[in-house]
Each structure stands twice: as structure tokens, then as C-alpha cells.
């Protein structure tokens, strides 16, 4: 049995020294593992009968790399670099056997071995850039020595892992095998010894290929979108360029740049989001379950855009889907849309025709609600209409066995009220998917007042199955994301238009801040009518005084629905997405402003960004204080994965911490005085600022049970 206190074991199989390391769940190279590996290597190299050493994972993943939790303090020795030096200097060949994933420090460990053998299902990569880090254990120096400088820079800047066969073609691994990796790797060691192939330190190889300016800008250009607003790439380029220098000089540049990157705000923010995404699915008090309920058959009611998107998400996850709509024509339209969506994925090379056909075949259209009966879970995705939704949910409740989850995909209505339209409100909750359902990583799970933890547990299983980040929200106006968007971010953007900023000025300022798309362009893309409809429903729950989306609602009234009608906040040419300013809209905004006695003025970009982002933070704090969101970090996940907030700024609440809450409160009070009631500072920010605290500390205290929650 595995002894958790000893993650590394050493055995001798004839003349092969076998080092196994096993540190679940991802075989991270923490201090204990590094110590164990260094000790085992020393034993092997001192043992007179050992002629080759094999390093292999005891689990099914080679290693996900350095232990990210160790990055917050000084690293205890032996460092990975010291371990690698010992491997390279070993007097006998050292072989890495790669199964599953070899990422980051995991791959860097393998790069320092003299030979590499991989299972055909293995994937290898340096994902550090996604965390704002320069690979710091020789990755920028050894990878170019093995595969050439250009492919190395491409691989490090993309951060995406490559398959074993590709790694073999590039020269990153020496052999790819199927079947049992351990057996093949031992045989590989034996043949090295037989062929008298000794140690081959990667540091002694020379780099092939040249990284001139035009090659670098071409590669950076290919990743420009993913790296927008980021700085790590510059440090990566410097380090990879240094690989042509003597190894010691190159590695010194890598170390300096890796340290710089680790200390950067960008990296702190990206690491915060990484852990926040993993934390968000953890809910206190969930029942211990002996077995997990099966989720194989899914019924979706309502074949509109959302229902069709959700059907594809489940089909992509290998589930069979019954898509129900009583309207034949709606089903036919949905079938066409789904088919054309898959066809476009095939055309872009994202899917093979065979896989697309297989996914398509998992979705069956039906017109009778009774067809839900065999489903493991059912999701209602009909129009946002309380009575209609209640009727559908109540029918689902009578058709499905009492242990099945019933979800509503509402983005506006009260989940509690909808649940109470059934005889089993305990099994009803909200699954709020975002558009496009297939691409968006966020899944808001809305817990009604009667929803039980058992039901919540199934919803979390659903999120896992769909590889989405679940964030649990209380059942209140707009849940987490839309509340912050409507009461905070978008409302402020509209207010700025009324005060004299143009749609393109607001959008450009926020896009330069790092948002994927500015608020007005988002409204035009999603459809101004869609926003208006959601607000009408929300207002039945709680109303908001004028001015509240007066511009967007007027555009809807005028039929300026956005891209789909060629006119919205902007003008569009047929079939194009480029947004052109429209003087008619400027005139309309002026009219709406003067009706409200607002006199236009010049507004700077800085003010636009500050007001929109502070408004977002302020409402976020209210959502947290009201117990609608559990953690500040959950809000960051909602905004970075569902609403285009720049990941490298960590999400609105993390960003607030970096601004300093005392400063945030001061500025919010300033706008409160200037603009009135709706800028009233959230009590939680005032309290935290007074205590010189942060949202991160608040999360930590909450986790430790020091805080009492309002829920
Ligand atoms: N260091 C420390 N903890 C790590 C880790 C790392 N490098 N990689 C993953 N973990 C932890 C996660 O936080 C999670 O912990 P939790 O269960 O307490 O929440 C657990 O390992 C499982 O990770 P998760 O991401 O939920 O599993 P997965 O199977 O979906 O994905 C990976 C596995 C390896 C693909 C993914 O975790 C990953 O990308 N890790 C980071 C890899 C990386 O960037 N390495 C370079 C580090 S410099």
C-alpha cells in the first residue's frame, strides 16, 4: 500500500535502479518529493550494480509540475534545479518514463533526464505562461536544445500541451509506446545499456534555429489575443533567446526572469484565479455519498438558442440528450442550428467529421413532454415567463421519479418560486448557462430556499461532467453575475453615455483595460431585446428607478436590436461584426439625457474605467455581504469565466484588493457625493477598509469559520 509520508520509492531490478514517485492528485513536485527523488538518485548512482536509472510515476500522471502552493514563500532545498543538476551529472543514463501529463516542472524534470520514453496517450507541455510565470527549472534552456528555438518558443508561449506523437516528431521524446509503460521503459533502459549509450546531458546539446526579430513577432502575433495586456511573454522571449548562450549564462537569465514573473501582479492574479476556479466547486456540508448518481440521459425542454446550446454541451460530454419542444418548427430550427454549429467546428479543424456525427447522433428531438420520463436529469429552458416555466416544471415533476434533479435555466426568475410550483421543491435548482453554452466555462448554480444539499451535489457533478466552473449563487435579483452587471458595470456605462461619453469611447476604454469586449458591443452582440426582456422579468422581482438602461430599452423599442438587425448602439454592415458609430444614436442619447436634465461634458477614459470597475466591485461586495455569493473568489470566477473580466487582473474582487480597499472606499464615496444614492458604498467594503483588511482575508476567515454568514 502507498505510504503517503514516503512519496518516493527506490527498487533495484537487476542493473536498473527504479525510482517511483507518487504524490496524488497531480504528482506535484513538492519538497518531500524533491527530497525523495534526490535521495533515491544518490542511492542508485552509488550502487555498483546499477547501470541505468528509471524515473517513473507511481500513479497515472507523470507530474503537473511544481507545487504552486510552495510559490508563496522561499523554496526549501533541494530545489528542482539542484535535482536536475544531479540527474544530468549522473554517471549512468537516467530515463524518464512519461505517462498521463508532464507539465511545467514535471516536463522540466523529464527534460533534464538523459532519455525520455512516453506512453502514446501522454501529453507534454509548459503551461506556466497561463499562470504568468516564466518556466524556471531550465524549460527555456533545455527545450530549445532538444527541439530547436522556434518550436520551443511556440510551445512555451502557447502553454498548451502537445501529444506524445508530436513530441516524438519534434525530438522531445526518444520513444513512444503503447501497452504497459513500466515494462517498455525497463526494456528501454536495458537496451541503452546493451548498446552502451551513456548519459546525454541536455545542457551539453547545442540549440538549433535562430530567433530573429521577425520570427519572434510572428510567434507573438499568433498568441496576441490570449496574451492581450500581459507582460510575461516578454520575459519568456528574453529567456528563450538566451538559450544560445553557454548553459550557465542562459539559466541565470531564466532564473532572473522567472523570479521577476513570480513576483508580478499578473502572476499573483492568475494563480489566484487558478485556485479560485478549483475552490468554487467546494460547498460546505455536502452529503457523503456511497455512490454517485448516474447522469447518462439528459432531457432538455425548450429547443431555443439556449436549449440547443445546452443539448450540445451534454452531447459533447458523451451523454444522450432528448431535446423536447412541442413546436415542430422550433425543433427543426434547432436541428439545423446544431448541425451547422458542428459543421463549422469540422470546417475549422476543431472536430473530425466522425466525432461531429457521433455527437450529433446523441441528440434526439421529441415533441412530447412524456419523453422525459427515462431521463437522469431534466433541464427546463423555455421562454423567460413565470407561468410557462411553472407549468413545465410541474409537469416534469410529475413525470420524473422523485430522486431526479430538475433544473431551470432561468436567468431572471425566482428559483424558489419556480420550485414551489412542483410537489418536490427540494430537487429543483437553477442551472444558469451562459451564451454560447458550448464555449462559456461558467455555470452558475442557483440554490432556491428549498433546494437540498443532495440536489446541489448532483448539480456540482453536472458541472464536473461538463468541465465547467460551478459557482453557487443564492436566489436573488440577477443572481451573482447579472446583478453585478446590471446594477454595477453596465448601469454605470449607460450613465456615462448620458453624461456625454460615446459608446465607442466607453467600449474602447474598457477593452483597453482588458475586457474582452466593451459593454455596448456586448449588448449589440447578445441583442438589446434580450437584455430588455430579462430586465422586465427582473423588475417583477425588484424595480430600479430611472435612469436604468433607458438607452438600451429605447433602442429595443426602435427595433435597433444590435448585430442581428444591423443597428443597435452601432451600425453594422451585412454579415460583418465591425461596429461603426452612428450619429442617430448620439442624438438619441442627447435627447434622453436632456429629458433628465443631464448636461453633457468631456469625460476622460480614466474616469470611464474607474467608474465602471468600482461600480462592479461595490455591487460585488453587496452580493457577498448579502450571502448571495459565498466567497469573493467565487465572484472572481464568475467575472473572469463568464463576463470577460481580464484574468490577469484576477477578477473584480482580487483587483479591488490590489487597489487597496481604503482607496476603493475613498473613490466610491467621492462618486456617491457626485452622483447620488446608487453609489452608496457597500457596508462590507467599508468594514474591511476600516480594518485594513482585504477580500482575500475575508475569504480565509470565512473558511476558517471565524465569520458568521448572513445566509
Ligand atoms: N500545484 C499544486 N496543486 C495543484 C497543481 C500544482 N501544480 N496542479 C493541480 N493542483 C491541485 C488543484 O488545486 C486541485 O486541488 P484541490 O482538489 O484541493 O482543489 C487538485 O490538484 C486537482 O487539480 P484539478 O485541476 O482539479 O484536476 P484536473 O484533473 O481537472 O486537472 C491538471 C489536472 C494537472 C491538468 C490541472 O490541475 C493543471 O493544469 N494544473 C496546473 C499545471 C501547471 O500549470 N503546472 C505548472 C506549474 S509551474
- State the distance from the centre of ligand 1 to the C-alpha of 310, rounded, in angstroms: 27
Query: Contact 148/207 with Cβ under 8 angstroms?
Result: yes
What the block records as the C-alpha cell of 282 is: 467546494
Closest CA to 596 of 550, 560, 531: 550
Query: Contact 241/211 with Cβ under 8 angstroms?
Result: yes
- pTM value is 0.95
User: For ligand 1, is residue 159 a contact (CB within 6 Å)?
Assistant: no
Closest CA to 20 of 97, 84, 83, 91: 97
Indicate which residues carry an active-site annotation. 108, 128
Query: Residue 531: pLDDT above 80?
Result: yes
Q: How many CB atoms lie within 10 A of CB 583?
A: 8
Strands of 502-585, DSSP E: none
- State the distance from the centre of ligand 1 to the C-alpha of 101, rounded, in angstroms: 11
What the block records as the C-alpha cell of 620 is: 460585488
CA dihedral 299→393→458→284, nearest 10 degrees, is 160
Query: Contact 460/487 with Cβ under 8 angstroms?
Result: no
- State the distance from the centre of ligand 1 to the C-alpha of 433, rounded, in angstroms: 24
Residue nearest to atom 26 of ligand 1 (CA): 278
User: For ligand 1, is residue 54 a contact (CB within 6 Å)?
Assistant: no
Taking residues 233-259, report their average pLDDT.
97
Query: Residue 72: pLDDT above 70?
Result: yes
Compute φ and ψ for 272, nearest 5 degrees: -60, -45
Instruction: Report d(CA 441, CA 641) in Å as an integer.
Output: 6
DSSP β-ladder status, 428-433 and 442-447: antiparallel
What the block records as the C-alpha cell of 683 is: 457596508
Q: CA neighbours within 13 Å on the CB side: how many for 318?
A: 4
What the block records as the C-alpha cell of 213 is: 526579430
User: For ligand 1, is residue 396 a contact (CB within 6 Å)?
Assistant: no
Instruction: Report d(CA 433, CA 431) in Å as an integer.
Output: 6
Instruction: Report d(CA 316, CA 468) in Å as an integer.
Output: 13
Q: Which numbered atom of ligand 1 lies nearest the CA of 275?
A: 13
User: For ligand 1, is residue 128 a contact (CB within 6 Å)?
Assistant: yes
Q: How many CB atoms lie within 10 A of CB 399?
A: 18
User: For ligand 1, is residue 28 a contact (CB within 6 Å)?
Assistant: yes
User: For ligand 1, is residue 101 a contact (CB within 6 Å)?
Assistant: yes
Instruction: Report d(CA 401, CA 394) in Å as an integer.
Output: 13
Q: Which numbered atom of ligand 1 lies nearest the CA of 136?
A: 48
What the block records as the C-alpha cell of 615 is: 461600480
Residue nearest to atom 12 of ligand 1 (CA): 278
* DSSP state letters, 591-654: HHHHHTTPPP----HHHHHHHHHHHHHHHHHHHHHTTSBS-HHHHHHHHHHHS---GGGT-HHH
Query: Residue 315: pLDDT above 90?
Result: yes
Cβ neighbours of residue 66 under 8 Å, at least 6 residues apart? 28, 29, 80, 104, 105, 137
Determine the residue of 27, 64, 99 to mutate for testing ligand 1's pocket, defined as the one with the most ligand atoms within 8 A of the Cβ atom: 64
Instruction: Report d(CA 19, CA 37) in Å as an integer.
Output: 7
Cβ neighbours of residue 407 under 8 Å, at least 6 residues apart? 377, 378, 379, 380, 428, 429, 430, 431, 459
- State the distance from the centre of ligand 1 to the C-alpha of 26, rounded, in angstroms: 6
User: For ligand 1, is residue 55 a contact (CB within 6 Å)?
Assistant: no
Query: Residue 186: pLDDT above 90?
Result: yes
User: For ligand 1, is residue 69 a contact (CB within 6 Å)?
Assistant: yes
Query: Contact 548/497 with Cβ under 8 angstroms?
Result: no
Instruction: Report d(CA 690, CA 683) in Å as an integer.
Output: 11
- State the distance from the centre of ligand 1 to the C-alpha of 295, rounded, in angstroms: 25
Q: What is the pLDDT of residue 709?
A: 47
Query: Residue 2: pLDDT above 80?
Result: no
Query: Residue 45: pLDDT above 50?
Result: yes
- DSSP secondary structure letter of residue 63: B
Residue at grid coordinates 459557482: 471
Q: What is the pLDDT of residue 295?
A: 96
Closest CA to 93 of 71, 122, 116: 116
Taking residues 37-60, report their average pLDDT.
97
User: For ligand 1, is residue 467 a contact (CB within 6 Å)?
Assistant: no
Determine the residue of 7, 24, 26 to mutate for testing ligand 1's pocket, defined as the one with the most ligand atoms within 8 A of the Cβ atom: 26
Among residues of the chain, what percentage have pLDDT more than 90? Answer: 93
Q: 137 burial class (0-12, 13-18, 19+ CB within 10 angstroms)?
A: buried
Q: What is the pLDDT of residue 475?
A: 97
Query: Residue 83: pLDDT above 80?
Result: yes
Q: What is the pLDDT of residue 711?
A: 39
Q: CA neighbours within 13 Å on the CB side: how many for 257?
A: 30
Structure confidence by residue, pLDDT tens digits, 405-463:
999 999 999 999 999 999 999 999 999 999 889 889 999 999 999 999 999 999 999 99
| More reliable by pLDDT, 557 or 2 | 557
Confidence of residue 710 (pLDDT cuts 50, 70, 90): very low
Residue nearest to atom 20 of ligand 1 (CA): 25
Q: What is the pLDDT of residue 707?
A: 61
Instruction: Report d(CA 352, CA 515) in Å as an integer.
Output: 32
Query: Contact 303/330 with Cβ under 8 angstroms?
Result: yes
Compute φ and ψ for 110, nearest 5 degrees: -65, -35
Query: Contact 88/109 with Cβ under 8 angstroms?
Result: no
Lowest mean pLDDT among 130-134, 208-212, 501-505: 208-212
Taking residues 193-208, report their average pLDDT.
96
Query: Contact 142/107 with Cβ under 8 angstroms?
Result: no
Amino acid at each position: 500500500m502507498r505510504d503517503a509520508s514516503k512519496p518516493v520509492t527506490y527498487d533495484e531490478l537487476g542493473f536498473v535502479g527504479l525510482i517511483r514517485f507518487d504524490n496524488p492528485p497531480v504528482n506535484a513536485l513538492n519538497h518531500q518529493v524533491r527530497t525523495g527523488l534526490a535521495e533515491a538518485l544518490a542511492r542508485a548512482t552509488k550502487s555498483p550494480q546499477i547501470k541505468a536509472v528509471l524515473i517513473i510515476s507511481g500513479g497515472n500522471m507523470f507530474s503537473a509540475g511544481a507545487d504552486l502552493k510552495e510559490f508563496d514563500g522561499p523554496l526549501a532545498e533541494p530545489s528542482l534545479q539542484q535535482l536536475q543538476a544531479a540527474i544530468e551529472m549522473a554517471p549512468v543514463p537516467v530515463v524518464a518514463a512519461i505517462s498521463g501529463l508532464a507539465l511545467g516542472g514535471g516536463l522540466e524534470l523529464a527534460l533534464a533526464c538523459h532519455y525520455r520514453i512516453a506512453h502514446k496517450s501522454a501529453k507534454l507541455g509548459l503551461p506556466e505562461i497561463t499562470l504568468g510565470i516564466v518556466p524556471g527549472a531550465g524549460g527555456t534552456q533545455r527545450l530549445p536544445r532538444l527541439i530547436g528555438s522556434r518550436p520551443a518558443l511556440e510551445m512555451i508561449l502557447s502553454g498548451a500541451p502537445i501529444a506524445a506523437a508530436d513530441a516524438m516528431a519534434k525530438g522531445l521524446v526518444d520513444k513512444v509506446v503503447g501497452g504497459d509503460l513500466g515494462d517498455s521503459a525497463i526494456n528501454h533502459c536495458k537496451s541503452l545499456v546493451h548498446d552502451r549509450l551513456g548519459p546525454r546531458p541536455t545542457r551539453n546539446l547545442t540549440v538549433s534555429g535562430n530567433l530573429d526579430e521577425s520570427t519572434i513577432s510572428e510567434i507573438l502575433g499568433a498568441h496576441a489575443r490570449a496574451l492581450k495586456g500581459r507582460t510575461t511573454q516578454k520575459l519568456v522571449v528574453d529567456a528563450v533567446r538566451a538559450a544560445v548562450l553557454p548553459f550557465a549564462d542562459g539559466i541565470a537569465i531564466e532564473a532572473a526572469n522567472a523570479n521577476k514573473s513570480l513576483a508580478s501582479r499578473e502572476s499573483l492574479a492568475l494563480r489566484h484565479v487558478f485556485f479560485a476556479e478549483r475552490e468554487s466547486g467546494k460547498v460546505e456540508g455536502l452529503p457523503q455519498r456511497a455512490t454517485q448518481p448516474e447522469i447518462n440521459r439528459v432531457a432538455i425542454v425548450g429547443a431555443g438558442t439556449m436549449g440547443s446550446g445546452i443539448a450540445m454541451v451534454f452531447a459533447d460530454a458523451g451523454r444522450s440528450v432528448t431535446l423536447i419542444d412541442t413546436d415542430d418548427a422550433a425543433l427543426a430550427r434547432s436541428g439545423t442550428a446544431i448541425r451547422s454549429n458542428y459543421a463549422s467546428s469540422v470546417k475549422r479543424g476543431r472536430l473530425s467529421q466522425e466525432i461531429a456525427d457521433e455527437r450529433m447522433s446523441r441528440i434526439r428531438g421529441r415533441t412530447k413532454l412524456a419523453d422525459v420520463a427515462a431521463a437522469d436529469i431534466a433541464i427546463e429552458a423555455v421562454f423567460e415567463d413565470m407561468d410557462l416555466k411553472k407549468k413545465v416544471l410541474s409537469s416534469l415533476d410529475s413525470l420524473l421519479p422523485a430522486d431526479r434533479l430538475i433544473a431551470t435555466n432561468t436567468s431572471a426568475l425566482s428559483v424558489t418560486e419556480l420550485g414551489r410550483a412542483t410537489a418536490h421543491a427540494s430537487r429543483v435548482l437553477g442551472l444558469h448557462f451562459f451564451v454560447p453554452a458550448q464555449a462559456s466555462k461558467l455555470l452558475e448554480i442557483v440554490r432556491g430556499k428549498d433546494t437540498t444539499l443532495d440536489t446541489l451535489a448532483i448539480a456540482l457533478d453536472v458541472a464536473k461532467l461538463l468541465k465547467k466552473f460551478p459557482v453557487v449563487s443564492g436566489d436573488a435579483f440577477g443572481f451573482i453575475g447579472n446583478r453585478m452587471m446590471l446594477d454595477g458595470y453596465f448601469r454605470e456605462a449607460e450613465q456615462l453615455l448620458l453624461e456625454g461619453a460615446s459608446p465607442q469611447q466607453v467600449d474602447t476604454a474598457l477593452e483597453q483595460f482588458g475586457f474582452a469586449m466593451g459593454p455596448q458591443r456586448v449588448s449589440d452582440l447578445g441583442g438589446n431585446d434580450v437584455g430588455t426582456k430579462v430586465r422586465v422579468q427582473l423588475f417583477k422581482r425588484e424595480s430600479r428607478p430611472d435612469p436604468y438602461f433607458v438607452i438600451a430599452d429605447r433602442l429595443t423599442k426602435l427595433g435597433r436590436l444590435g448585430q442581428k438587425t444591423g443597428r443597435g448602439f452601432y451600425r453594422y454592415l451585412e454579415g460583418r461584426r465591425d461596429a461603426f458609430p452612428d450619429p442617430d444614436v448620439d442624438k438619441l442619447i442627447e435627447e434622453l439625457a436632456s429629458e433628465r436634465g443631464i448636461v453633457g461634458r468631456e469625460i476622460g477614459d480614466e474616469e470611464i474605467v474607474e467608474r465602471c470597475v468600482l461600480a462592479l466591485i461595490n455591487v460585488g461586495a453587496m452580493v457577498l455581504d448579502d450571502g448571495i455569493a459565498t466567497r469573493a473568489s467565487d465572484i472572481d470566477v464568475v467575472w473572469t469565466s463568464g463576463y470577460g473580466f481580464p484574468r490577469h487582473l484576477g477578477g473584480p474582487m482580487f483587483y479591488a484588493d490590489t487597489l487597496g480597499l481604503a482607496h476603493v472606499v475613498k473613490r466610491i464615496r467621492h462618486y456617491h457625493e457626485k452622483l447620488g444614492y446608487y453609489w452608496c458604498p457597500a457596508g462590507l467594503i467599508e468594514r474591511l477598509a476600516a480594518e485594513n483588511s482585504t477580500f482575500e482575508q475575508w475569504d480565509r476567515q470565512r473558511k476558517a469559520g471565524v465569520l458568521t454568514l448572513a445566509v
